[in-house]
Structure 1
Amino acid sequence: MDELTTPVRQQHKFDVGRLQRYLSVKLSSETLTVRQYSAGQSNPTFLIQTPTRSYVLRKKPPGELLPGAHKVDREYLVQKALFAAGFPVPQPLLHCTDVEVIGTEFYLMEHVKGRIFRDLRLPGVSPAERAALYVAAVEVLAKLHSLDLASLNLEGYGRGPGYCKRQVSTWTKQYTAAAHRDIPAMNELSDWLIKNLPANDNGVTLVHGDFRLDNLIFHPTEARVMAVLDWELSTTGQPLADLAYFLMPHYWPRGLNVVTGIPTVGDLISIYCRCRGIPAALPQLNFYLALSVFKMAGIAQVCTASVFFARSLTGPAAAEEHSLFLQTAEGQAVLQQVKDFMRQCVLPAQEVICAHRYTLYNNNNVYLCVQVKAREAGLWNLFLPAVSGLSQLDYAYIAEETGRCFFAPEVFNCQAPDTGNMEVLHMFGSEEQKKKWLEPLLRGEIRSCFCMTEPDVASSDATNMECTLHRDEDSYVINGKKWWSSGMCFYFCYVYMEKKHTSHHQENCRVFFWHGQHSMILVPMDTPGVKLVRPLTVFGQDDAIHGGHFEVHFENVRVPVSNIILGEGRGFEIAQGRLGPGRLHHCMRAVGLAELALELLCQRAATRRTFGKKLYQHEVVAHWVAECRLMIEQTRLLTLHAAHALDTVGSRAARKQIAMIKVAAARMACKVVDCAIQVYGGAGVSQDFPLAQMYSYVRTLRIADGPDEVHLSSIALLELRDQLKKAQAKL
């Protein structure tokens, strides 16, 4: 499969069967597969493959769009004219205006095989070829600007003279329509451009509008342009604007001129002018460069706003700040519902529960009342894409919000370890197991545990586990000790998830073959031989608010063979599927918890005085505030990146991102809460504020689901593997 493609993103999915039926009439009746290009964000672009041919589909994005943006009909029109004239573009095949087919207007073109360079420095290419590729690019641009509009039948394609003035006006309007906050520098640049328009603004050729190296397909082995892509911004007007846009990266702070082989601006201008037969002097080049920067900023803003038009002012602040990782429309709607529900129901209930935690919570009166309301509101099982319809990226923002309250995940039936156990049963359980265990879990009628860690061995190395499982006719018999089995003290807990060695492993090969020595099996709580030995405390304190953590002994526990999940020796395989999303959910909540801790820190720093001034006026405290904000923002981005990777490439391919955020989130939250405790002084470790409990929770995260050191070792191995692949690719 094309390395530049990914599975179709959730927000861009469409009915493939309906598309196939449409194409069977227009082109071919062959079965097709669809993947999405990682580039082509403005007008989503897809690779359509059949057993014999490949096509590329470009469509409008879903939702309400900004006026004048995403005109795929113009792209189709200009490519059709250029292909007929022999200019290198993909052959356009059909244009469909019937939105019933895939939900939006689209067009289809031939797939052109070749090289696309996303990195403008062209790594892995020799200096000589690097120079040849840039020369080929500027030559094809000169060829475009030399085409006769009349012979192309594109005389009415654009408005011609006055192009620069229209561009300044157009991008000012587009930026203003898309922007959700005022940026004075953009206003100043717009004013400067309109006051410094070129004296000669009447030159008219066909212009591409977004001519960049990464919009070109080069021959697989030759320095020759096979196709120019992305004609969304094409029109008729001043060609020097195209040239300046292509040259713009040379003027960036770390420009391209320092890379060996890439021609200088002067050389590229000389080649362009020679190909067009015009003088090499280009008056007012600075204006065209400034216009290019202004347009690039406008494009970035429009691409962000178009899909989520009219929602940017009401969406979450995090979504506004991190436009690379935006929720779907459904995700944003659910997030707003969760925020409202948290404010109206969950946070008031938390105050009551915390004030009477040893009486009311054990009776579940307040907690269960809020949970019933959440279920009635449809805010239930949000973590599971198959049930909620939300992506992991959607859920990331939601889980961050629930991280601001200790018991909020339980309210929405999104609590650990149940979430991971439900994922296991959903992905690997038999139909009988799903009916008996998964369905009641999804309804919130029972709770579950995951028993893995053992008290007598270092369980970070799973090969150490001593708990045994052996088959006896139609039953499995389990013996061993487990502890840190969370959720045991809930009176309605009913299911165990057990991970252990199978009975037939050989002692001398445990280190090398442990992946096949573990199994997962369902054990009802009331099975004879299951003994709750003792509850465990966290930092010496009861942790019943999370269902408690118990040491559990299994003494000749006998369960039916039908209770094993997937089969003997499949435990490690199952665990990898379970731990990807589960670990990420903890990290998402840790970001929300850290935000709350920083709020508490700032409130205290703004109201308490020491040595004649407010706490925040002491430089050390001010620096803590700044460092906390930096760490939270960095961790949120890493969390969203991991969620996006889970959605697009799956748990296995996203292992490094998940391992990185597992380490980073817990460390960050520990540091932020620790700073808050320090600002609160003695109050910070008292029961009057939630900080001590918050610290015990996030410090535990550095051990739960594997200690930091295990994840760091995994990250190192994965990074070394990736680096070696890069090195081999350059050879």
Structure 2
Amino acid sequence: MEHVQGRIFRDITLPDVRPAERTALYVALTETLARLHSFDIRTLNLMEYGRGKGYCKRQVITWTKQYERSAHTDIPAMNQLAQWLLDNLPSNDNEESLIHGDFRIDNVIFHPTEARVIAVLDWELSTIGHPMSDLAYFCSPYFWPSEVPLFVRSTDKKFSEITGMPAFEDLLIIYSHCRSISLPIPDWNFHLALSFFKLAGILQGIHARCIIGNASGENASIYGAMVKPIADYGLALVKRGNLTLPDTSKSSGELFLQSAKGQHVLEQVKSFMQQHVYPAQQEVLEYYIKNENSPVRWKKPLVIEKLKEKAKAEGLWNMFLPAFSGLTQTDYAFIAEETGKVFFGPEIFNCQAPDTGNMEVLHMYGTDEQKRQWLEPLLAGQIQSCFCMTEPDVASSDATNMECSIQRDGDSFVINGKKWWSSGAGNSTCKVAIVMGKTTNSSSSRYKQHSMIIVPMDSKGVEIVRALKVFGYEDTPHGGHFEVHFNDVRVPVSNLILGEGRGFEIAQGRLGPGRIHHCMRTIGAAESALQLMCARAAQRKTFGKRLYQHEVVAHWIAESRIAIEQARLLTLRAAKAIDTVGSARARKEIAMIKVVAPRMACAVADRAIQVFGGAGVSQDFPLAFMYAAVRTLRIADGPDEVHLSAIAKMELLEQSKRFAAKM
């Protein structure tokens, strides 16, 4: 047991949050319930916590007795429903899990700023029992009879019609994926009817106590009138047959299903890309070629600005941030792949790095004032940003080598140091940097000596030294990669993010989802390279045969398809892991994709270049630029070797636990 600081929502309709956050909160709640039901009760020594087997039968008997003891009048529907439940017990009534018994949104504590459950409250009804009864009780608001008021709520709409409330089917899919079970759920009508029978029994008990003067709460007296319509509804549920539920057993190996909203947004993005983004590629390319040596190259072409406004108007904006989009990491992973097929695609939807990572940092860790001053204009697309972490004078694969200092001086922090590969610093709209450096900290841990701070780019002492080239490319479409010096730069103490010594903590929170985005965009780029390779192989001839008719080229195509599919599955698995267990516990999966995806994309781009011959390394085709861009990802956010070492360390630790368990 421990005290936690967070948010409790008393109204299950969440009237005071944005629709996107409403979605994210209910998704997080569903994932928490799935994790609760996935606990190994034997490992936790909870086998004696409840009677377990036969839970549903005991519940019917218990609540029948409860109702009969407190009944103030005869309600035939309650008697009929009780009998139906006894006659139709689930065939698997021996299933055992830790269940909460009263799981709903007002019985959990959410993180102060994130859509993440940090504590579950009110365990009085918890026991060992059938998890589907817990799930059905949690989902009961979706089936609530219209003639009965839904306890605490601030709207007359049906629960499922509230803007931003996820579809019941989506929650079932999320739950089933978290627990690795198939849909439809057996005996779902039974579990749902049992939930309403239980609710009717609870309400009858409250009413009975009200009659004798023992009930508390101003609404206690009205609960008696709710018993009959709830019992009638429960009986109607069982009489109308099984509800139509999503079926994941017929998914043909579709391991990572999106929510209904995720699928809808993906189709919107695909349509937008086809209608507007792909046709604009030539115009954008000509702009950057024309202005290659002009200062204008750091400004966006007009067509990009117009497309951004159009995407924003259509609601295809900030899709990377669950609290604003209502999408899971798995949902957004598919979208990131689609936008990654065009080099300027992510920016059209305000989903470009490094702004996405910086916005996540400010959203998760920023103060209200930091959010107002910097996050809001970033989310609106009014400004852009850069992230300053890597340094030229030290081996940055070990981030603890950092020399940049952030020192307290009265009401200010003074920043001194050199940074390079500060992506996005060349954008004409880059107005702010998030800088990581060392602060004076008494902690002996080398991972608690660094902090992150907000530095406006127009601060005195900020010097943009030069644009760094990648294989000769300045990468102007993405704002370039710059060397930036900070010479006695002074900013207010209030610009510090989260607190002194919290830099690595922030970095890990920032880089987890960001690596999913990077890798899926990289997979999108690899798909484009493969498409170009296939088109070239079908059009060109050598020695009297089409290129694809040469076995070596055919094998390159096959190997590329295999590698892309492997990388995609691994990345989606990492996205699912973040959705279900969080970034910290998905470290190995994230590290693996950071190695696999860039290596795969480099290999695919290299094969495509080989098929194109000399044209492949020219400016007439995007392959050389694509190769340069994806090759940097084998170094950015940590080189392959660092991730491989981390993967090996985690694997050895896991294997050692298995060895110990067998001994």
2:99 alignment counterpart: none
1:688 alignment counterpart: 620
Q: What SS does structure 2 have at the residue aligned with 1:601?
A: helix
Q: What SS does structure 1 have at the residue aligned with 2:256?
A: coil
AA at the equivalent of 1:335:
L
* Deviation of 1:727 (Å): 2.2
1:224 alignment counterpart: none
Q: 1:95 to 1:386 in 2, by over 3 A?
A: closer
Corresponding pairs, count:
474
**Take 1:93 and 1:438, find their aligned partners in 2: how far apart are those partners?**
41
Q: 1:335 to 1:363 in 2, by over 3 A?
A: closer
In the alignment, is the contact (CA less than 8 A) between 2:333 and 2:520 conserved in 1?
Answer: yes
**Take 1:458 and 1:421, find their aligned partners in 2: how far apart are those partners?**
23
* Deviation of 1:615 (Å): 0.8
**Take 1:567 and 1:659, find their aligned partners in 2: how far apart are those partners?**
27
Q: 1:349 aligns with which of 280, 305, 319?
A: 280
Q: 1:558 to 1:597 in 2, by over 3 A?
A: same
1:473 alignment counterpart: 410
**Take 1:39 and 1:93, find their aligned partners in 2: how far apart are those partners?**
9
In the alignment, is the contact (CA less than 8 A) between 2:386 and 2:423 conserved in 1?
Answer: yes
AA at the equivalent of 1:35:
L
The answer as to 2:439 corresponding to 1:429 is no
1:559 alignment counterpart: 491
User: Identity of paired residues, percent?
Assistant: 59
Larger Rg: 1
* Deviation of 1:356 (Å): 2.5
**Take 2:497 and 2:569, find their aligned partners in 1: how far apart are those partners?**
35
Q: 1:471 to 1:687 in 2, by over 3 A?
A: same
AA at the equivalent of 1:307:
P
In the alignment, is the contact (CA less than 8 A) between 1:308 and 1:329 conserved in 2?
Answer: no
1:387 alignment counterpart: 324
Aligned residue runs from structure 1 range 477-516, under 5 A:
477-504=414-441, 513-516=445-448
Q: What SS does structure 2 have at the residue aligned with 1:103?
A: helix
* Deviation of 1:350 (Å): 1.6
In the alignment, is the contact (CA less than 8 A) between 1:79 and 1:92 conserved in 2?
Answer: no
In the alignment, is the contact (CA less than 8 A) between 1:16 and 1:34 conserved in 2?
Answer: no
The answer as to 2:142 corresponding to 1:103 is yes
**Take 2:92 and 2:417, find their aligned partners in 1: how far apart are those partners?**
74
Q: What SS does structure 2 have at the residue aligned with 1:479?
A: strand
AA at the equivalent of 2:89:
Q
In the alignment, is the contact (CA less than 8 A) between 1:80 and 1:91 conserved in 2?
Answer: no
Q: What SS does structure 1 have at the residue aligned with 2:428?
A: coil
Aligned residue runs from structure 1 range 243-282, under 5 A:
none
**Take 2:135 and 2:448, find their aligned partners in 1: how far apart are those partners?**
52
Q: 1:307 aligns with which of 221, 236, 246?
A: 246
AA at the equivalent of 1:474:
D
In the alignment, is the contact (CA less than 8 A) between 2:50 and 2:129 conserved in 1?
Answer: no
AA at the equivalent of 1:571:
G
Q: 1:601 to 1:462 in 2, by over 3 A?
A: same
1:247 alignment counterpart: none
Q: 1:619 aligns with which of 548, 551, 555?
A: 551
* Deviation of 1:531 (Å): 0.3
The answer as to 2:446 corresponding to 1:407 is no
**Take 2:135 and 2:632, find their aligned partners in 1: how far apart are those partners?**
56
1:583 alignment counterpart: 515
2:500 alignment counterpart: 568
2:34 alignment counterpart: 36
**Take 2:421 and 2:31, find their aligned partners in 1: how far apart are those partners?**
46
**Take 1:334 and 1:723, find their aligned partners in 2: how far apart are those partners?**
40
Provide Cα deviations, 1:278-304, integer angstroms capped at 9, x if missing partner: xxxxxxxxxxxxxxxxxxxxxxxxxxx
2:43 alignment counterpart: none
**Take 1:591 and 1:516, find their aligned partners in 2: how far apart are those partners?**
35
AA at the equivalent of 2:274:
R
**Take 1:441 and 1:75, find their aligned partners in 2: how far apart are those partners?**
55
AA at the equivalent of 1:432:
E
* Deviation of 1:307 (Å): 2.3
* Deviation of 1:485 (Å): 0.5
1:671 alignment counterpart: 603
* Deviation of 1:463 (Å): 1.8
Q: Which runs of 5+ in 1 are unaligned?
A: 2-13, 19-31, 41-48, 58-72, 106-213, 216-229, 235-304, 313-319
In the alignment, is the contact (CA less than 8 A) between 1:335 and 1:398 conserved in 2?
Answer: yes
2:89 alignment counterpart: 79
In the alignment, is the contact (CA less than 8 A) between 1:447 and 1:493 conserved in 2?
Answer: yes
Q: 1:307 to 1:656 in 2, by over 3 A?
A: same
In the alignment, is the contact (CA less than 8 A) between 2:402 and 2:437 conserved in 1?
Answer: yes
The answer as to 2:323 corresponding to 1:325 is no
1:640 alignment counterpart: 572
In the alignment, is the contact (CA less than 8 A) between 2:547 and 2:553 conserved in 1?
Answer: yes
TM-score (norm. length: structure 1): 0.60
**Take 1:569 and 1:501, find their aligned partners in 2: how far apart are those partners?**
8
* Deviation of 1:103 (Å): 2.1
Q: Determine which structure has greater relative contact order: mean sequence separation of CA pairs < 8 Å that are 6+ residues apart, divided by chain length.
A: 2
1:222 alignment counterpart: none
**Take 1:448 and 1:617, find their aligned partners in 2: how far apart are those partners?**
48
* Deviation of 1:38 (Å): 9.4
* Deviation of 1:728 (Å): 2.5
**Take 2:142 and 2:51, find their aligned partners in 1: how far apart are those partners?**
22
TM-score (norm. length: structure 2): 0.66
